Structure 1
Amino acid sequence: MPKTDTQAKRLRALLAEDRLRIMPCCFDALSARLVEQAGFPLTFMSGFAVSAARLAVPDTGLISVTEMIDQGRNICQAVDIPVIGDGDTGHGNPANVRRTLEQYAAAGFAGIMIEDQVAPKRCGHTGVKEVVERAEALRRMRAAVDAREAGADLVIVARTDARSALGLDEALWRLNAFADLGADVLFLEAPRDETEMARFCDQVPGIRMANMLEDGITPLLPPERLNALGYRIAAYPLTLLSCAVRAMQTALDDLAQGRTPTNRTRFSELRQLVGFDAYDALLDRYADSD
């Protein structure tokens, strides 16, 4: 049901609290609902995970903005918690960036991430070698902020992949510039060690996000350490997808061996998760009293 506060306003209130928020990332409506039911107050629609789950293709710009928005609309309708969407490069020039924000806001997102890679982009932990020039990166961010101020009410997560392409100093320069332009959240992708993570938090003002990708480039730090460094969000982009894939592989192996998988959700719980009980209760309200 519609709420008095916008999702973006609710997200800003969460991020205004002086504490680290753990943010498991989702890839479809069902995974988003599981995040919500587990008690997490926000989630993020991962571009890598959506590309994998929806198309079984790598996160290299092969999925279209239309497909991302369609997936995001389903996710946002399935949950009440704020959802941040992966907006990649903004999908073109500054006019495209503005329209991308308008479309994400209309789909029900609370926030959007915009990055400075060249198009087509790729997962930041798979060897990013190119980002756009400074001027183009700033144009993208100005366009995003202008769209927000014009009514596309979204929390803007400004991401740079310059650490991998050009080095840490350039990445920090860009993040400070994004903060000056009005980005809400700053995201340094793929720092190599805790020292670099600490330098980011010390030298870039505002709300900072960490990316905790298992087996990725960035060290996996416990939440208490991330909080002490100065991070406000800890995103786990592929945890749910990776665990789901492993669970399905195990179940398929059981079936191939003639066994019924035992590590599964009971059918009664699955029915409740997708809303069968609520659906039947709704129909009962309209049953003929005769």
Structure 2
Amino acid sequence: MQMQAAISMKMGLSNISSPSHLQRLLFLASGINHRKIINSASINKNARINSKNFHSSMSVSASYDDNVDATPSPPSSSYQAEKLRKLLGSPGIHLGPACFDALSAKLVEQAGFDFCFTTGFGISAARLALPDTGLVSYGEMVDQGEQITQAVSIPIIGDGDNGYGNAINVKRTVKGYIRAGFAGVILEDQVSPKACGHTRGRKVVSREEAVMRIKAAVDARKESGSDIVIVARTDSRQAVSVEESLWRSRSLADAGADVLFIDALESKEEMKALCEVYPLVPKMANMLEGGGKTPILSPMELEEIGYKLVVYPLSLMGVSIRAMQDALTAIKGGRMPSPGSMPSFEEIKDILGFNKYYEEEKRYATNISQLTSQSGYSSASSDTYSTQQISEDNSSGPFSGIWSIKLRVKITGRDGFEKLDIQIPVSDLVNDLMTIPYLCLTYFVLVKIKEIMNKKGMQLKW
């Protein structure tokens, strides 16, 4: 629904105690959801600046579409799940290092990997600096996961631990991971609190409860209209026996699991035995770096055995810890880390996307600083710029047509002489207009006017 509003205001800035005070007044006055996207037509505002020497008048045109929400959507879990399923159906074995935050996930993607996965171990360490013993919560895992999935375009498999409770909790976990943008979720059969894989103290729930967790996950997937990949993990090899782990793997596949994973298998023969369980169901191998229970095999060997996915849970976390320790030792000793131990500043900026940001900045730039700093500013040329250049710059952008709005500011001294007459694209007034109710532009307009006046040697008292 298209909505328009016309508002006339007169305000003495001396009566406004703070920007937040002004914002609250405008929020209350508008009654409009500030998350809606503003996109075209007409609000007329008149505001007066009370000072010793100047007064001003201004007009702003804007409107918003009540049907469009400016809140960015997370990546589609179904789309990412489809990509992961295509990967599982493609020839060869696929390698995926574990990430623990958005930056590590971005590095995995930039290195050319087809998928990535998270671990409770890595997120417990990165987020809490605590061991993976059930201390990290469902909410923390989802929050970290959403940051990761939004940072990359490759599918991410999220570690759902033991589902954080009973079958009902498992359903909530799966639905939360779907909303967070995960392509897959790993669910294990450990009791709560859980223990980390390849460590002592692991206990598993009954066979029936283990199967019911996977059935609950399948139901949650159906109810969400998603196609998230369910990776069923059993820790019963260490808790009970290899025979028990093979029995559970068959039952978990029957319950609807898409991928099977037995943690901490102790020999190549045991790994072969898993791959013989429902050969058409993909298997995942866990190559724990640095000394786990499972033999470290090459991707080629794992593919020959029958594995489809192989994951490396500690590589990025481990080398990061050692690199930080070495750097801290150097700094404490009064030295800089060796040049070969870290990328250059330019490389770091490139990894983080500074160059891409600069290109985007050029694309949407309005050259307002140049326009307002030059004397002899022409309102006619401003009209041409506003209607043509902004349209050209934004015609193919994700927010095209939203902020082709201009503000005219005229300031006349009490001596009757015109001090300022300019037109400002509203998009220049704040860094991120999409998060602010349009009525709040009034405050930012006044701030902009003050900046312009200061540049011209004029003073304005608030």
Where on the TM-score scale, by shorter chain, does this alignment land: which range?
A: over 0.9
Q: Structure 1 regions of 5+ residues with no counterpart?
A: none
Amino acid at match of 2:137: S
1:281 alignment partner, one of 352, 355, 359: 359
Matched, 1:114 2:187: yes
The equivalent of 2:282 in structure 1 is 207
Q: Deviations over 1:9-50 (max 9, x none)?
A: 110000111311011110000000000000001000111011
- Which residue is equivalent to 2:97? 24
Q: Which residue of 1 aligns with 2:331?
A: 255
Deviations 1:221-267 (A, max 9, x none): 11110000000000001111001111111111111222111210111
Aligned runs of 1:59-70 on 2, under 5 Å? 59-70=132-143
Q: Over residues 86-129 of structure 1, what are the superposed CA-to-partner deviations in whole Å (9 max), with x where a residue is unaligned?
A: 00111111111111111100001000000000011111111143
**Total equivalences in the alignment:** 290
Give the one of 199, 206, 221 matched to 1:133: 206
In structure 2, C-alpha distance between the alignment counterparts of 1:260 and 1:248, rounded to whole Å? 12
**Matches of 1:219 and 1:78, distance apart in 2:** 33
For residue 270 of structure 1, the aligned residue among 345, 348, 363 is 348
Please tell me the residue identity of whatever aligns with 1:275.
G
CA distance in 1, matches of 2:148, 2:92: 26
Q: How does 1:1-290 map to 2 (within 5 A)?
A: 6-150=79-223, 151-205=225-279, 206-214=281-289, 215-262=291-338, 263-289=341-367, 290=371
Could you tell me how far apart the structure 1 residues matched to 2:196 and 2:165 are?
A: 18
Rounded Cα–Cα distance in structure 1 between residues aligned with 2:175 and 2:77: 20
Root mean square deviation, CA, Å? 1.5
- TM-score, structure 1 normalization: 0.97
Q: d(CA) in 2 for partners of 1:140 and 1:70? A: 22
* 1:228/1:212 CA distance change after superposition, 3 Å: same
SS at match of 2:185: strand
One-letter amino acid of the counterpart of residue 207, structure 2: R
Distance (whole Å) between structure 1 residues aligned to residue 83 and residue 164 of structure 2: 27
Which AA in structure 1 matches 2:307?
Y
Deviation at 1:200, TM superposition (A): 1.0
What percentage of aligned pairs have identical amino acids? 52
1:40 and 1:47 map into 2 onto residues whose CA distance is 21
- Provide TM-score, normalisation by structure 2: 0.61
Between the aligned partners of 1:108 and 1:255, the Cα distance in structure 2 is: 39
Contact 1:90 1:97 in 2 (8 A): yes
CA-to-aligned-CA distance 1:61-85 (integer Å, 9 cap, x gap): 1001100000000000000000000
Change (3 A) 1:182 1:4: closer
Amino acid aligned to 2:168: A
Distance 1:159 1:129 in 2: 13
Report the structure number with the largest CA radius of gyration. Answer: 2
CA contact (8 A) 1:128 1:164 kept: no
Deviation at 1:5, TM superposition (A): 6.7
Question: In 2, distance between residues paired with 1:135 and 1:39?
Answer: 40
* Cα shift at 1:175: 0.4
Kept in 1: contact 2:195–2:202 (CA 8 A) = no
**Which range is displaced more, 21-30 or 253-262?**
253-262
Cα distance, 1:204 vs. partner? 4.1
Structure 1 pair 72–5 and aligned structure 2 pair: CA distance change class (3 A): closer
CA 1:148–1:6: 2 relative to 1, 3 Å: same
